[in-house]
């Protein structure tokens, strides 16, 4: 009986196959397959490729030569010493490996393993190890501690439960705030009843000063913004007047009939206004030319520094 070691990933050529072991005629290409792995197959793949019991119930696909990039992880540091008695191939190569990322917690590592199995590689086993600690390059499970089977459904339940808990806590917080406001209003109402509404409500002068200061600042800022907009609108009016003047020279008949056509269009659209309405909106400026300060007068808009 042969004592030659076998490996489940030697069954077909893949991205980690040594160049010397590759089929020179039928060159390997990444499997850009459209096959989708179902939730059941993902669970089975996680059991096997996370180094648990071997169950062949899912498509083994090696979709990409390079894993999808992990943000902020580009260069890996690896040290390797072959064991005494380890035999390389004729070119001195012991095999090939992939550094598949480093993660802060087991949960993050499991999530990345699931992502790779689901979208990139459901062919190779993914071993978990500690950064900076030696680990054996072996297919034997004798060196591996017990692995935790990933249950996607359990993970979902935990996530939903956590979300519900957070939502309840947020609702309780809102209810507490509402209750506090209600108590404050009741207290103020009680004080108002005690003086029969004849006394002025006591206001802290310092708080009132702060309120008025903020109010003044907001109104000043609004005033400045309005001035800025007025300057912009003023320039638009001057430009529009110049364009109309050019059209009046080219098409003098437009001025006498454009208003009737515009009014008919408004009526057709269901806009039926009285004379009072027309005098109270922009239409008043279409009926007759109005003098506009700072444009038709010598006045100037104030500057605001």
Q: Please report whether residue 197 resides in a domain.
A: yes
Region of residue 11 (phi > 0: left; psi between -120 and 50: alpha; otherwise: beta):
alpha
Confidence of residue 164 (pLDDT cuts 50, 70, 90): low
Structure tokens belonging to residue 91: 């070119």
- Residue 228's contacts (CB-CB under 8 Å, 6 or more residues apart) are 304
Check pLDDT > 70 for residue 189. Answer: no
Q: Tell me: do 194 and 272 sit in the same domain.
A: no
Structure tokens belonging to residue 112: 């990345």
Q: Please report whether residue 254 resides in a domain.
A: yes
Least confident piece of the model among 59-63, 92-96, 238-242: 59-63
CA-CA-CA-CA torsion for 98, 104, 106, 107, nearest 10 degrees? -110
Mean pLDDT taken over the chain:
73
Confidence of residue 143 (pLDDT cuts 50, 70, 90): low
What is the DSSP track for 16-75?
TS-GGGS-SSS--------PPPPHHHHHHHHHHHTTS-----S---B--SSPPPBTTB--
The per-residue pLDDT for 150 is 43
Q: Tell me: do 23 and 136 sit in the same domain.
A: yes
In the chain, the number of structural domains is 3
Q: Please report whether residue 303 resides in a domain.
A: no
The per-residue pLDDT for 33 is 65
Least confident piece of the model among 40-54, 166-180, 196-210, 235-249: 40-54
Q: Tell me: do 29 and 129 sit in the same domain.
A: yes
Last residue of a domain, one of 166, 185, 202: 202
Q: Tell me: do 142 and 157 sit in the same domain.
A: no
Query: Do 151 and 43 contact (CB within 8 A), yes or no?
Result: yes
Q: Please report whether residue 37 resides in a domain.
A: yes
Range of the domain at 221: 211-287
Which of 118, 110, 147 lies closest to 42 in space, CA to CA?
Answer: 118
The per-residue pLDDT for 242 is 92
The per-residue pLDDT for 149 is 42
Q: Tell me: do 20 and 145 sit in the same domain.
A: yes
Q: Please report whether residue 302 resides in a domain.
A: no
Q: Tell me: do 26 and 106 sit in the same domain.
A: yes
Q: Tell me: do 139 and 155 sit in the same domain.
A: no
Q: Please report whether residue 293 resides in a domain.
A: no
Q: Tell me: do 258 and 194 sit in the same domain.
A: no
Which of 142, 136, 67 lies closest to 102 in space, CA to CA?
Answer: 67
Q: Please report whether residue 2 resides in a domain.
A: no
Check pLDDT > 60 for residue 142. Answer: no
Last residue of a domain, one of 202, 219, 243: 202
């Amino acid at each position: 009986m042969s004592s030659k070691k076998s490996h489940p990933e030697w069954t077909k050529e893949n991205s980690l196959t040594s160049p010397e072991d590759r089929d020179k005629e039928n060159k390997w290409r990444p499997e850009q397959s459209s096959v989708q792995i179902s939730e059941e197959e993902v669970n089975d793949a996680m059991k096997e490729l996370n180094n648990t019991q071997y169950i062949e119930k899912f498509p083994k696909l090696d979709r990409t030569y390079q894993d999808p990039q992990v943000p902020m992880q580009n260069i890996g540091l690896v040290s390797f010493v072959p064991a005494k008695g380890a035999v390389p191939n004729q070119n001195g190569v012991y095999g090939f490996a992939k550094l598949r990322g480093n993660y802060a917690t087991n949960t993050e590592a499991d999530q990345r393993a699931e992502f790779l199995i689901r979208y990139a590689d459901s062919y190779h086993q993914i071993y978990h190890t500690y950064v900076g600690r030696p680990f054996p390059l072996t297919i034997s499970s004798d060196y591996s501690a017990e692995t935790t089977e990933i249950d996607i459904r359990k993970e979902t339940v935990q996530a939903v439960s956590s979300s519900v808990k957070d939502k309840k806590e947020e609702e309780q917080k809102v209810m507490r705030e509402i209750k506090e406001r209600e108590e404050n209003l009741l207290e103020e109402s009680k004080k108002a009843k005690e003086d029969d509404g004849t006394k002025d409500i006591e206001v802290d002068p310092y708080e009132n000063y702060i309120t008025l200061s903020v109010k003044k600042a907001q109104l000043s800022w609004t005033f400045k913004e309005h001035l800025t907009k007025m300057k912009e609108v003023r320039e638009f009016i001057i430009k529009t007047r110049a364009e109309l003047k050019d059209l009046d020279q080219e098409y003098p008949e437009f001025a006498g009939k454009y208003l009737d056509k515009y009014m008919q269009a408004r009526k057709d659209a269901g806009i039926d206004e009285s004379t009072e309405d027309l005098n109270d909106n922009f239409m008043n400026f279409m009926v007759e030319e109005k003098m506009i300060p700072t444009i038709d007068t010598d006045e100037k808009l104030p500057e605001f520094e």
